[in-house]
Chains A and B, each alone.
Chain A
Amino acid sequence: MTAKILSLNVNGRDETILCDGLTTLQEVLRDQLGLLTSVKDGCTQGGCGSCSVLVDGELWLSCLAPVAALAGRAVMTLEGLKQSAGIAAIQQSFIDNSAAQCGFCTPGMILTVKALLDANPEPSHDEILEALSGNLCRCTGYLPIVEAVKDAAARLSGGADAARASEGREG
């Protein structure tokens, strides 16, 4: 297979990537670009959601995405989203609702929730379950995560002031 050079915007920085036709976005993020390890390697076949990233704002499974098809697109991992709107409120909701135990699924969960709330700021219970259906969690039993999503939605729809207030809340 022929190696190929392409440019990709990762977390706001233009990166030059060396890849072949089968190199996945997950491999590039974890191995080539300096340990973006919020992108987990749970199953490498799209079955667990732990490798989720945003590509131009859309939720993608990086383990199934051939990076060669992504030239010129903007990829965000949880590392790059630290300062972005809503992430701190989602993270705080996960903390306050004890929605993480071992933490392996958590980055993928948080990106899934970010993509859900960006598209649908007031999701119903069933819409939350559907959004989480591609993300496996082995510890929490999901109920705290569902609560965290509802909590995050409430914080964010309460406006920027409410979100800031809840983000500043002591844990």
Chain B
Amino acid sequence: MAKLRGTGMAAVNYPTGMHLGGDPTMALVHATSSGSFVVTLSSVELGQGLKTVLAQIAAETLGVPLEAVVVDTGDTDTGPHCSGTGASRTTHRAGNAVIAAAKEARQEMLDVAAEMLEVSADDLVTDGKGNIHVKGVVEKSLPAAEVAAAGQFVYGKSISGRGIFLPPASKQDPETGESAPYSTQAHACTVVEVEVDTETGAVRVLSLKSVYEIGRQVNPELVKGQIVGGAWMGIGHALYETTAPYYPAIDHAPYDFLNYVIPGAAEMPEVQCEILEYPSETGPYGAKGVGEMVANAPIPAIVNAINNALDVCIGEIPVTPEVVLRALEEKARADGA
């Protein structure tokens, strides 16, 4: 009996968002009388950082500081339509919708500023710090908040914009089955080292190192959060988590956190990631998005590392101690034969 080490790798090409037809995401932007810009949509913030990412995208397009943007989302009773927060689609789809809405609102804002400054709107620029000024003439400047208020109270203009992102439906070629159901692909590769205890069948992940190519990172700290969290989810799927019992009776299925085992803090290995940014042509500011893919490559990489360590060919997940011990028994039988 021994503790054997192995190395495994796996790669993923991940299409962010799918457009099989009719799955738009919409966004509305409007200036309030306090000078903030509200982005309204129905995509759901669940901790992944959607509100931060979309506020950044809106601020960039409007040309106002991040603090001036409020994202109001998640209420599908009142918000404009979103086809769903899933398939890693939100940065790409909602991001594009927000850009479209913010562009329209920005134009309206510059039109009001143009009237106030008695210049052409085409000659106006934003400084990203909350001011609008004439190109090359910083002194001829107005705070965006003042323009927003004047739009409503003096000029009778609603500084607002509408945005929708609906890519053309992908039709399948009846002859070849070929279709183009996605707008962009992100890529990743993960290398994992494991140690397998051949007496107990327990697997320990020692390190998990990845390279991600996800287009432009809108927010590197959130990207890192997704990748480390995804590494953990991958370990859970590869080694622990299943709702299906191995035994005939459904009574053996796990039903709570005490027997549906997920990895804890002590099961986390060293996690490293490198990011490559090849901007997407269709993505908002070149972003592709990083979502589900973070749990994709770790799973086969871990299984490959176990197979490498034991010289077996396990093809199922999770690789519980029982699966490891059965594979070792089978190998011993085969070797003996």
Contacts and interface: CB of A to CB of B under 8 A. Distances in A.
Interface stretch (A68-76, A81-89, A141-149, A153-161): A141-149
Contacts of A143: 228, 268, 271
Given A43-B257, A98-B224, A103-B47, A141 B264 contact: no
A141 B231 contact: yes
B47 A139 contact: yes
| Interface hub of A47, A130, A136, A143 (most chain B Cβ within 10 A) | A143
A interface residue count range (under 10 / 10 to 19 / 20 to 34 / 35 or more): 20 to 34
Nearest to A133: B264
Contacts of B265: 128-129, 132-133, 135, 137, 142, 145-146
B205 to A, nearest CB: 12
A165 interface: no
B22 interface: no
Interface in A101-142: 101-103, 128-130, 132-133, 135-142
A143 B48 CA distance: 16
In which size bucket is the chain B interface? 20 to 34
Most chain A CB within 10 A, of B221, B257, B258, is at B257
A111 B150 CA distance: 48
Contacts of A137: 265
Contacts of A101: 47-49, 225, 229
A137 B257 CA distance: 12
B1 interface: no
A45 interface: yes
Given A136-B264, A143-B268, A43 B229 contact: no
Interface of A: 42-43, 45, 47-48, 98, 100-103, 128-130, 132-133, 135-146
